[in-house]
Chain A
Amino acid sequence: MTIILQLLFTGIGIGAVYALVALGFVLIYRATNVVNFAQGQFAMLGGYCMVITTVDLGLPYWLGVVISLVVMALFGALFNLGVYYPLRHRSFLPVVISTIGASILITNLVLALYGPEPTTLPGMTDYPGISFGAVFLDAQYLVIIATTLALVILQYFFFEHTMVGKKMQAVSQDKEMASLLGINVTGMIMLTFTYSAVLGGIAGILVAPILFVSVGLGAQIALKAFAASIIGGFGDVPGAIVGGLLIGVAETLGAFYISVPYKDAFAFILLFAFLLIRPQGIFGEKIAQKA
């Protein structure tokens, strides 16, 4: 029983990271109808920003976080200008391929500059964690879960109770109409990319102390986050979160009870199962075409 609780806790912690990256996917997908295959690289870059600021430059943790997130915001804007904006009037496939190109570019630039060796990064606190009987709640996992929860609540209020949030929703539902109503569509999409990059960066900063910072970090997280958003129901915000948690728990349990080398395969097996049985995911994106 204790062991299951312990595994569940770990699974939810890691799943929260997938959920954050999946949330970034979903936001960009809803605003632009494009799947951003470089979303995981946002997380990787966030991790490396922390390495540069706190390890290389020796800045304090919180200053490092602030600088990293500002850099990520700028990067998100740059990404929009370079990868999405020139292709905004084209069909789905060119844009997807362009984001795949961007993910290769980012990964290999970092690889060329930093090499393949993973770097360790300190957590937010030195405090080890809390023990509940035999179950140990690691501080970094608690930080991850709390941050994700806070961000989800914050995002809910942002979209439902602020004008900018409502404008962003309008753009995601009907760009043409939003534009006719005087909403700055280009600006809103820019904002979406910026926010998604920051979300990715936060995920990277949170997960870095657990998984190490390496160039492979992006792909590793992105694939699972993407699987999470399909399992939850593509384009659905609660779905992305539930899907992320589900995958985190599944792979933690799978690694413990079934096989460690195949740990990374469980997310995909779960994904295949969903695609076969319930392709619209838990919360169901409508898969229908219009004439």
Chain B
Amino acid sequence: MKSGIKFLLWLAALIVAIGLALALPINGYLMNLLMQASTYAIAVLGMTIVLGYAGQINIAQAAFFGIGAYGVAIGTTTLGMAFFVSLLLGAVVALLFGIVLGGSTLKLGGHYLAMVTISFQEILTLVLTNWIGVSHGPDGISNIPRPHLGFLALDQSQHYLALCLVFLFVIAGLVAWLKSSRLGLSMQAVRDNELAAGVAGIDTNRVKIIAFAACAFLGGLGGGLFAGAFRYISPDQFSFDDSVVLLTMALLGGVDAAIGAVIGTALLILLPEWLRFLKQFYLAVYGLAVILIMIFMPQGIFGYVTRLFGRAPDLPSGAVAPLTLGASVATDRPILEVDGLSKHFGGLRAVDEVDLVIESGSVHALIGPNGSGKTTTLNLLSGIYRPTAGRIRLGGREVAGLAPHLLASAGMGRTFQNIRLFHSLTAFENVLIGSFRAGSGSDAKSRRARALAALDFVGMAARAAVVVSSLPYGHQRLVEIARALAANPTLLLLDEPAAGLNLTEKQNLVALLRRLRGHGLTILLIEHDMDLVEQVSDRITVLNFGRRIADGTPDEVLRHPDVVAAYLGEVGEDVIA
């Protein structure tokens, strides 16, 4: 669907919803349900961002919701501030807590984050219950006023519901739009493969913290509106159980879509009405539902529906432009100069004082027996490991010890031995993420064109709209190379690109490498296939036990006695038998 039509549909739905809210005679009980659903849904949309897009867990959304609610309650009653000022203030406080929690824990990942958010939830409940001077303790705060919008008083519930719906629609629209934006795609890249996201140029920590902070902010916003809706709040409304309810809503509807959040919330607010017969077993059924959703419907209701109907391809139209590569620094200076590079793991010297010089425009192979330190060297060059010692200069600039995304923006591109793609995204989206690298095409349109050009270069343009996890292995390798090319790297690091390819695919790879070289791209290649190495490389460096044992042209190196010994064993030791 074109985005213009989507927008019109969205606008029509908003107008209809507001019209219904204002015109229909809604009784008090139904009104409460609708207000609860619309304010909860805003908080659940936060979960869509953090859990759905960025793949980070948050079991404290009710705490952020509570912070927003208490912001409005304390702001309007105790401090006598205007409603909207209090609303914003509460949401900002939630956001700040989100940044602090996320900033201290997101690096550590999964179970730490789960634990820390639960702890935060518990502490907040303790504080709300015991800090009576501010929160009024377990009694809660009542008589929370509703706002005025200029001459329009929103005192009446139907008017207030209309306000909540406007907030909900705007936020749902923004969250839906976020998904295909640069930031949203970066979040999904982090979710699908954090390591590859970093190497593709994404500042993974920053993206995760933004996602977490946005989630907390929306939690606070929903909570603030909730306080105005019910005019009374108490600590038990924002407990651990409520966080779980918000989590379940996001999962049930479909965690990676804004519409899913709204569906899930509406269902779980209305469900209690239909499940009245369950009485006290109602929360137990919630728990059971969570397990069953995880097992049978991991994509949620909306995910299930979209899978039935397929997904509309989102590709740039028009002719594919040729890919421009290699660029800028075609000097006589070497592209990469590595001096005394070392990496020790405890007592193991995985890489031991390796020197390496790669000339501009050459294909340089790094070979050696298994465990000789080739991939570790690549991990050092791409910033995944920090070197124990040594210098790395890329295009004359010292880059040793930089984070992966900074190395990517300095011009280092790479692929992985065991392919690392963003498995739930399409080939095009994967490559588009590669094009995000700072400085490669300034506007969205040229980046999209470049991504398609990169796919075309490797011969995968026809499969651009396919989700990569359903592509065959050889094609996945090509998409990964295209992703690295989209960033227009100064130096391309390829970690065993021929591994697992059949003979035809290998021949295609050789042709591709030669074309890349023809475009002036400098390549560092790790490969076990000696035929391929001989066919494409200008120079070869050989590692063994982490040390460089030979360096030179293929002819010199492959006949070097040390190299022969390293590969075939020492003559006179174990060969004679």
Contacts and interface: CB of A to CB of B under 8 A. Distances in A.
Interface of A: 29, 35, 37, 82-83, 86-87, 90, 92-98, 100-109, 111-112, 219, 223, 226-227, 230, 234, 261-262, 264-265, 267-269, 271-272, 275-276, 279, 287, 289, 291
A264 B122 contact: yes
Given A93-B57, A101-B290, A291-B379, A261 B126 contact: yes
Contacts of B282: 108
Given A97-B247, A291-B379, A35 B114 contact: yes
Q: Looking at chain B, what size class is its interface with the partner chain?
A: 35 or more
Nearest to B416: A291
Kindly name the residue among B51, B59, B114, B375 whose own CB sees the greatest number of chain A CB atoms within 10 A. Answer: B114
Given A104-B244, A111-B280, A227 B119 contact: yes
Contact of B284 (A82, A105, A262): A105
Contacts of A279: 107-108, 112
Contacts of B422: none
B294 A87 contact: yes
B283 interface: yes
A95 B57 CA distance: 12
B291 interface: yes
B122 A268 contact: yes
B115 A289 contact: no
A234 B111 contact: yes
B483 to A, nearest CB: 15
Given A109-B284, A264-B126, A102 B119 contact: no
Contacts of B284: 104-105, 108-109, 111-112
B110 A93 contact: yes
Contacts of B51: 93
Contacts of A271: 115-116, 119
B222 interface: no
Give 3 nearest A-B pairs by CB, closest first: A101-B290, A105-B287, A104-B287
Contacts of B62: none
Interface of B: 51, 55, 57, 59, 104-105, 107-112, 114-116, 118-120, 122-123, 126, 129-130, 194-195, 240-241, 244, 247-248, 251, 279-284, 286-291, 294-295, 298, 375, 378-379, 382, 384, 416-417, 495
Given A94-B298, A108-B283, A101 B291 contact: yes
A81 B119 CA distance: 29
Given A29-B111, A219-B240, A291-B416, 20 more contacts: A35-B110, A87-B294, A92-B111, A96-B111, A97-B290, A101-B287, A101-B291, A103-B287, A104-B283, A108-B283, A112-B279, A223-B115, A261-B126, A262-B130, A265-B123, A272-B116, A275-B116, A276-B104, A279-B107, A291-B382
A267 to B, nearest CB: 8
Contacts of A223: 115, 118-119, 122
A112 B282 CA distance: 9
B112 A102 contact: no
Contacts, number: 137
A79 to B, nearest CB: 11
Contacts of A98: 290-291, 294-295
A101 B294 contact: yes
Nearest to A97: B294
21 contacts: A90-B298, A93-B55, A94-B294, A95-B294, A96-B57, A100-B247, A102-B291, A103-B287, A105-B286, A107-B287, A108-B281, A108-B287, A230-B112, A234-B111, A262-B130, A271-B115, A272-B116, A276-B104, A279-B107, A279-B108, A291-B384
Contacts of B108: 275, 279, 287
Nearest to B124: A265
A291 B104 contact: no
B97 to A, nearest CB: 12
Given A35-B114, A262-B126, A287-B108, A97 B251 contact: yes
B296 to A, nearest CB: 9
Contacts of A234: 111-112
A275 B111 CA distance: 12
Given A94-B294, A262-B126, A289-B384, A101 B119 contact: no
Nearest to B296: A86
Given A87-B295, A94-B298, A271-B115, A101 B281 contact: no
Nearest to A109: B284
A34 B59 CA distance: 17
Given A268-B122, A291-B375, A106 B110 contact: no
A261 to B, nearest CB: 4
Contact of A104 (B116, B195, B290): B290
A283 to B, nearest CB: 16
A100 B290 contact: yes
